[in-house]
Structure 1
């Protein structure tokens, strides 16, 4: 017979204490500090900030430490904290054209105006374990600061100038805020980009990969990928003008996609776009590919039934916090539900066994 396990508050407290011990690990090993995580695990910190919709490296590092390195749990912690913060206003649109660039590459033009800046990247490493890091550690080097703004126009503007690129959509409408309003369908492009930017990197990556393998109408080139810091400004009504309140690191990707034209659009290149907090180029590229796949209807293309073309499927399943909550809730007590299922199965079996026994007799 199945019975409910009893433990209550004492069992939960004991589980929390055990969790704290596991998080700390061997006391003989120096404790990992928040500063160390922030400075030496920056890509993990950037992912937590992006998917947590809160730009604060210190809090993201704290969340990673508290979550024992579980990045989705860290995102959950950061989002929960975010809901407690007051909102003083909205910033002005960020101008990525004025970005202090640390990395800027293009797969479409070799001699791009402003030059290509390789920056900090794994692209050219050998992917071999460096055992020196375990034996000797790393020798600190002078940190390279972002450069001053350079004349580095967005590369897609060159195609736009020649009339080969679809024109940018201009609108004065204020986009919906996904962090304050629930998702609703149909979702316009600003809302889709918000959802993708804070969606789970693995999910968005898999959707982007599917488009490259033929499950969607896109064949993309990275027109430009740029990483750097941008000034954030906020308009102050009492002053009558905007003031700088800080800076933020961003990764921006614009892809160039083939387009043979449709009933409503002439043959031209079309664009996909991705903008993500921090250095997160895999995520930014993925967002831009999925963004382009989701634009099939506005471009007059056919829907071939690819998962990445299904707006509801993509947007309702890309959020890792919602997915985690729905998935992990099944490990919580469902004793009553299971007892009813169990009794139903027993009843069905008894009903099925009676005719079988009568036939055997």
Structure 2
């Protein structure tokens, strides 16, 4: 906290009170409940959970309410709260092939076992304002399809049967934890994926977009995009086996990229991967594209000078909380710093004017 002048603390308390008043808005308008935010602003809730690294729809909705809809501030609140929670163990890796899919599409295969499931999506809407939503009544809801109740195999496994796609080796090692250990470069893929999952959606999206506009060496296809719920299991030492402790909704994206091969690998397809909380498919696709771009070095692909290939640039600038903290600190008092800068500029000006005066006199 900066208390630069007498009475500064009182001014800050008043600013907090005013903020609370502004957050509430017109008292004649019914207050927005956490449940309403959770149920009706679910996509905002999902983003806050993903970039806040905490799966709790109620807390994410509360953070959005407290932040007056500022999602980055809400993510900040969630991350700060997350640091207060004890860690009781590590869950097993979720098995996404057992996902009960509400949405599952592939841009690479038209006919896939299990079929294409459009699910709830904006893809086919006309992007016209629906003024019925501004009325007191709700628009008539369409009959919803029941969620898929059977496991759905990954589309990329069909390519794998022919050996056309790079095999992903499964590791039993516990991946590094970005929330507990500072990032060190070069980072392994698990750490990069953590950073991208927590990264700002807009930043990751712009990096992904750049790879599609020629600032990268590959063009991707969406092998599969799926959204649904998966079980979370935790090993209980006292029992000697794992138990299911709940389920989470996830968005998973696998992209397929052509790979011309290297000295040790034949021509084949390679993958990009994205996994996020809730329905956050734009973020998951962007994450997969950037993941593949950052894999260029390990795949032996000649890298360009494009930003999306620069691991340090991407990973050190994608975090919106770090970026916001550095950006917003410059609006806080820097009186002493500025006075020293001003004295320096005055001295430089005086020296230049003196030199000019001397030159004119000669």
**What is residue 59 of structure 2 aligned with on the other side?**
59
Distance 2:151 2:170 in 1: 24
**What is residue 230 of structure 2 aligned with on the other side?**
230
**What is residue 20 of structure 2 aligned with on the other side?**
20
Distance 2:258 2:154 in 1: 19
* Matched position secondary structure for 2:296: coil
Scaled by the length of structure 2, the TM-score of the pair is: 0.96
Segments of 4+ moved more than 4 angstroms? 139-146
Shift in Å, 1:168: 1.2
Distance 1:93 1:143 in 2: 34
**What is residue 298 of structure 1 aligned with on the other side?**
298
Distance 2:151 2:245 in 1: 24
Q: Structure 2 regions of 5+ residues with no counterpart?
A: none
Distance 2:30 2:306 in 1: 50
Distance 2:284 2:350 in 1: 57
Scaled by the length of structure 1, the TM-score of the pair is: 0.96
RMSD after superposition = 1.5
**What is residue 133 of structure 2 aligned with on the other side?**
133
Distance 1:138 1:72, change over 3 A: same
Q: Does 1:9 align with 2:14?
A: no
Shift in Å, 1:263: 2.3
Distance 1:99 1:149 in 2: 9
Distance 2:180 2:169 in 1: 25
Distance 1:272 1:233 in 2: 26
Q: Structure 1 regions of 5+ residues with no counterpart?
A: none
Distance 1:233 1:8, change over 3 A: same
Cα distance per residue 1:56-103 (max 9 Å; x no partner): 000000000000000000000000000001111010110001111100
* Matched position secondary structure for 1:258: strand
Retained in 2: the 8 A contact 1:34–1:62?
yes
Cα distance per residue 1:134-174 (max 9 Å; x no partner): 12431575885863542421000000001111111232222
Shift in Å, 1:351: 1.2
Retained in 2: the 8 A contact 1:92–1:232?
yes
Cα distance per residue 1:193-220 (max 9 Å; x no partner): 1110111000000000000001111201
Q: Does 1:185 align with 2:220?
A: no
Shift in Å, 1:264: 2.7
